[in-house]
A and B are shown apart, each in its own frame.
Chain A
Amino acid sequence: MPTLTDKLKALGVKLGASEINAGFPKKQETRKESFLNSTWLTYNGSVNYQDTHYSFEQFNTIFQQENNFSLGFFSELLREPRLIQYGPEQITFIDTETTGLSGGSGTLAFIIGVGRIEDQKFHLVQFFLDEPSNELNLLIALEEFLASSKVLVSFNGKSFDIPILKNRYILNGQPNPFLKLQHIDLLPVARRLWRERLQSRTLGNLEFEILQISRKQDDIPGWMIPQMYFDFLHEGDFAPMERVLYHNAMDVLSLSNLLTEIILMTKDPISSGSINPIDLFSLARIYEELGRLEVAINYYSYGLDFERNREFGLPESLVKESILRLAEIYKKMGDIDRSLSLWQRAVELKEITGFIEMAKIYEHKYKNPQEAKTLTISAIDLLETSDLSVLEQLRWHSELKHRLERLERKINAGL
């Protein structure tokens, strides 16, 4: 009866325990402990890690001016009041390198980069899984590192990094250390801030566009990373891992710089004098959605100031949108005059909504259906020459027609 070994041989594989074991001694030679400069001792055993401290000259950060630091913006944005109380030393920035993208139970994090402000320096700890069987120690060490933190900052961590790490804790029979931490995921924040301005909001692109940092040649594209780790495991050559560590370090640093940048940007964007007009618009919209109407009014108005705008340079589409939103806000607040003057501007810019809103005001507030009708007719005329999509035209047309008919009925009824 052919044994399994025979069958496997038939599958075209040469086997032999000796061949496999031959790999081990070789690997142990090349894989020296000193590749990583530190060791973390846990109650269960030790794990190696790369320990680096960056001074503030090495990278720019608001953390230099402690009294300017505040997580207030995030606290509002994420509707998490507790965030406000935390200072820079209570934040851990985290980024991992994993063996795959699937998120299933077989995906490991082989580099966990965590960074924290400590004594005016940025302390980066990069745990490295040099042997998968050593994972438990790594997880315990990570938990110990996180013990003094209250806030986690990541990029796409909520959907990716943290769920994978949670799996690893479960598979190693350990409790989840992330439960007591607040989590700020900068990916959705970046989207809300820079959706209008940037096509791509990957960390790399944000690094380039917003932070204006470019990496050394040492850096490698993300898709190559898992295979480099597998090669390391099978062959033992650590040199390529240095580049992966560099990549990870840059990612963590960028996280902290990005956080800083957002804090700076949102603190007092107008008086800083350096805010990008599109970003200011995005901020206005964010505050509008948060219900902070006074701030929204301030930011929208700034962008709409005629004289400034020539230099300020808010693109026309956003000018239009600003006008419409601001007018809507004033309307909600009951300030008819202000909203009317904005709708007037909208009309000048040939925005159908402007016509309709003004018609509404004339009809209901000023009891002037005749004027309302004139406006409606102008809108219908305008619609014919506009370059809106067919669907939009149809939608507007039907609404305008409906309004016109109603107004005519009203007029004929003798008001």
Chain B
Amino acid sequence: MSIKQIINIWENDPTIFDNITAWKTRLAREAVYAEFPESVNLNLVHILHSLKIEKLFFHQKIAWEEIEAGKNIAILTGTSSGKSLCYNLPVLNKLLQDPESRALYLFPTKALSQDQYNKLDVLVTGINELYTPKPHFKIGIYDGDTPSNQRSQIRASCQIILSNPDMLHLGILPYHTSWVNFFSHLNYIILDELHIYRGIFGSHIANLIRRLKRLTKFYGSTPQYILTSATISNSKSFAQKLIGEEIEIITQDGAPQPERNFLLYNPPIINSELGLRRSASIESIRIADDLITSGNQLIIFGQTRPGIEKILTFLREKYPENIIDPISQIRGYRSGYLPKQRREIEEDLRNGIIRAVVATNALELGIDIGGINAVILTGYPGSIASTLQQAGRAGRSNEPSLAILIANPDPLDQYIMSHPNFVFDNNPEAALINPNNIYILLSHLRCSIFELPLKVNETFGDLSQEEVKALCEHLMDEKNVYLSKTAYYWMTTQYPAQNISLRSSSTDTVVLTKVADPDRVSPLTIGQIDYQSSMWMVHPEAIYLHESQPFYVEQLDLEKKIAYLRPVDTDYYTEPQRSTKIELLEKIEDFDENGSNYGYGFVKITSQVIGYKKIKWSTHEQLGIGKVDLPSNELNTTGFWLILKGKITEHLRSENLWNNEANDYGSEWKEITRFIRQRDTFRCQVCGVLETDRPHDVHHKVPFRLFSSMNEANEFGNLIALCSTCHRRVENNVRIRSGLAGLSYILSHIAPLHLMCDFHDIGVFFDPLLALFQENLPTIVIYDMIPDGVGFSEHLFAERNQIITHALEIVEACKCSDGCPSCVGPGGENGLGGKKETLAILRALTSCRP
């Protein structure tokens, strides 16, 4: 049964159709061809013809022309659009003109390198056979897996070298004197999947490029850059910042497209009071079943390994073995698998043996798997770019294909459901990097000085001479660097690249160790993270996700800097609870509106992880809490703030924007109030004023609605007598606090949409009385979790209007009564999650705009 037919059936089935919130059909598109330009070597054209490439796609020709014109380019066309030829064509052509020419291809994963190597090999073999006298071109992969006895030969004889950033950083640049010939003739540098190089990782890569450029300059070459990337909102500026040069972007996609259907599916609500929905996995299995039984090949993307295992197990058990072989035809796929297994699965996908693959995002990146009829995304993958890449796996040449995104209860998922334009039309995500993050910059400056002494008047990246001088003087103070008349030399026995991880911002790291299995002799290191980050990411009892596998943290040894992790399959994840103090060090920029002040600047965060919340995966309900004992920690970084000023809070108070619900405090309430007023000697416990003609109010210190039983709420310790003025003020404070809490929740959950970061990469703090400047005011601060920041705060400031608007839209549209995990946070804990209060603040903020 074809996709079209399945879709027809769904259209007429309300149990599915009613949950589809958006549907876009992109019609099939013919290829837009272009003739091979005349400047392409005829032999090369001939070989391409023999590989059934008769003409170029339009964008491949544009790429060629821009490269001929000496430009750097970034190709942003979709998946399977023939991006490789955009770079292979100019590189190979140059080789044919000049056999001394060299090119460096960098890929983010070894799997991608291998895949591209295979493609390139076909072309190079063709050239070697065809061309007389035989030029004998060679290509080679040079990475951590390359046997050491082959390395010098690859360096010496390969014209094209495929590698990855880690190898470049650790194994190539510090030993560049073994690459004299390669660097002297380097004409092209190719960077694939550029959008991956964002955040901390991207900031490191930008500096890696700076080091590489110093060396190519030393050896006298000026290579051109050819980049490929998924589409994001700031593609051009991001790419330019990453490589430090001007770029032309190419977006027109000339490749043929089959008809693509993209559905957004929101599981139905099963408890409207609490706002709970059916789990995405269940819906996913239901949809998968329809597709499999109708004979369609499909991929199901999932977010966590246990989630995937469950879907996999379920599907395998569903079908009789003579119809579908559960082992070979329904497979799992994740990065933890051996390369050999992964190659097998990719092969079996291509030749149609596999009916369904349940995969993590490891299958998202470019590896060629042919075209698949259908793709199911179980839960929003965390970024629009990933969503598009995963969905982009669907599409076989002549047949209509289907991608369906099934939402989790997460606010962001829910927001995407109601704003399909983000997925269908404009990706609002920006890839952010800060190459001048002081810690990252210093790390790479050390490496660069090791690689080549830095002259006193040299610049580095976009830094000025004075700035470079200041940095070098700091390094001299560390006694790592020595100024010898006109240049700075690395002067210590250590070799700097060794201690730098490209994925964390400091050299101080905690090693993540998988607790020893009984049948394993020694514990296995699975990764490492920043010392600072370790306290909130792998605190004792935390659930930590590594390569989609959840781990439980058994122990965090801060002295030895080791965290002990055990793989688990729990139904919850954890969110750390911090006690935090914030100090504003310096404002960079701010903006005063009528009732509020927005800004960003350098902040000092002193925080301590004191506990955590357990949150259920499938519904995002809070299951419980835990306590943790860890030292406090200082973080100097950048932060974005929103301060509610007098005007707004007055407005909120006076307009009585929140209804005073007539709470039914129980039949004994009158008695209780009499008793309390008497106990408190008929004086207001805040201002001291005596009752006159009107009895004082009796106030619940901890709000009534937060208790599970009336008796607990009305315990005398929780009640005080207040005059009506003070009562109103206190109530307002409680409400403001509750509104701030809800606002923090929603902002922190949707910020990643704009920042293209993980939830963990930013921290959120709020306080009804915080003095960032002189006055104590209700304030929310969202800060970069990375020391010295990577640019998140700046971007939040720039996009503040859109973000507040989005937040308002989500909360207004949410059907829950008093707050839920999909909008302002689950109601009823510690004065948090007040939906009405949050709405009031949001409305006030948006109405105050000029």
Q: Chain A interface (Cβ within 8 Å of chain B)?
A: 1-8, 10-11, 13, 15, 17, 20, 99-108, 131-134, 166-167, 170-171, 226-227, 230, 233-234
Contacts and interface: CB of A to CB of B under 8 A. Distances in A.
Given A1-B586, A11-B474, A100-B494, 8 more contacts: A3-B467, A8-B474, A99-B493, A104-B451, A105-B174, A133-B485, A166-B177, A226-B492
Interface string B457-498: 000000100010011011011010011111101111111100
Contacts of B238: none
- 7 smallest CB-CB distances across A and B, nearest first, come from A106-B450, A104-B174, A102-B495, A132-B484, A133-B485, A133-B484, A100-B493
B636 A233 contact: no
Contacts of A227: 493
A8 B451 contact: no
A6 B477 CA distance: 15
Contacts of A171: 177, 452-453
Contact of B438 (A4, A99, A230): A4
Contact of B450 (A1, A15, A105, A170): A105
B491 A15 contact: no
B588 interface: yes
Nearest to A8: B474
Contact of B174 (A2, A4, A6, A106): A106
Interface of B: 174-177, 180, 438, 449-453, 463, 467, 470-471, 473-474, 476-477, 479, 482-487, 489-496, 585-586, 588, 602, 636, 788
A132 B487 CA distance: 9
A6 B467 CA distance: 11
Given A4-B470, A15-B477, A10 B453 contact: no
12 contacts: A2-B586, A8-B438, A8-B471, A108-B489, A132-B453, A132-B482, A133-B485, A133-B486, A133-B487, A171-B453, A230-B482, A230-B491
A170 B483 contact: no
B576 to A, nearest CB: 26
A131 B489 CA distance: 10
A227 B479 CA distance: 11
Contacts of B452: 105, 171
B470 A230 contact: no
Given A167-B177, A171-B177, A106 B451 contact: yes
A103 B449 CA distance: 15
Contact of B451 (A6, A13, A105, A226): A105
Contacts of B487: 132-133
Nearest to A107: B495
Given A15-B477, A108-B489, A1 B588 contact: yes
Given A104-B450, A106-B451, A233-B491, A4 B467 contact: yes
Contact of A104 (B175, B453, B470): B175
Contacts of A2: 585-586, 602
A349 to B, nearest CB: 40
Contact of B491 (A3, A4, A99): A99
Contact of A132 (B176, B489, B588): B489
A20 B483 contact: yes
A101 B493 contact: yes
A20 B488 CA distance: 13
A317 to B, nearest CB: 33
Contacts of B477: 13, 15
A401 B384 CA distance: 71
A234 B602 contact: no
A105 B176 contact: yes
Nearest to A132: B484
Contacts of A230: 479, 482, 491-492
Given A20-B473, A227-B493, A234 B438 contact: no
Contacts of A233: 482, 484, 491
B385 to A, nearest CB: 31
Contact of B471 (A4, A17, A132): A4
Contacts of A104: 174-175, 450-451, 495
A392 to B, nearest CB: 26
A15 B636 contact: no
Contact of A234 (B467, B479, B485, B588): B479
Contacts of A11: 438, 474
Nearest to B493: A100
A15 B486 contact: no
B493 A20 contact: no
Contact of A13 (B175, B453, B474): B474
A171 B490 CA distance: 14
Given A104-B174, A167-B177, A171-B177, A131 B450 contact: no
A108 B493 CA distance: 10
A2 B471 CA distance: 14
Contact of B175 (A15, A99, A105): A105
A10 B602 CA distance: 11
A3 B452 CA distance: 26
A19 B471 CA distance: 15
Contact of B495 (A3, A13, A100, A170): A100
Nearest to B464: A4
Contacts of A7: 438, 788
Contact of B485 (A105, A131, A170): A131
Nearest to A225: B493
A171 B455 CA distance: 13
Contacts of A8: 438, 470-471, 474
A106 B482 contact: no
B495 A20 contact: no
Q: Choose among A4, A6, A10, A166 the residue with the greatest number of B CB atoms under 10 Å from its CB.
A: A4
Contacts of A3: 467, 470
Contacts of A134: 484
Contacts of B451: 104-106
B636 to A, nearest CB: 6
Contacts of A13: 474, 477
Nearest to A227: B493
Contacts of A167: 177
Contacts of B180: 170
Nearest to B451: A105
A138 to B, nearest CB: 13
B229 to A, nearest CB: 30
Contacts of B479: 230, 234
B474 A15 contact: yes
A387 B496 CA distance: 51
Q: Choose among B450, B483, B484, B493 the residue with the greatest number of A CB atoms under 10 Å from its CB.
A: B493
Contacts of B492: 99-100, 226, 230
B491 A17 contact: no
A227 B474 CA distance: 20
Q: Choose among B180, B451, B473, B487 the residue with the greatest number of A CB atoms under 10 Å from its CB.
A: B473
Contacts of B588: 1
Nearest to B474: A8
Q: Choose among A5, A131, A234 the residue with the greatest number of B CB atoms under 10 Å from its CB.
A: A5
A125 to B, nearest CB: 22
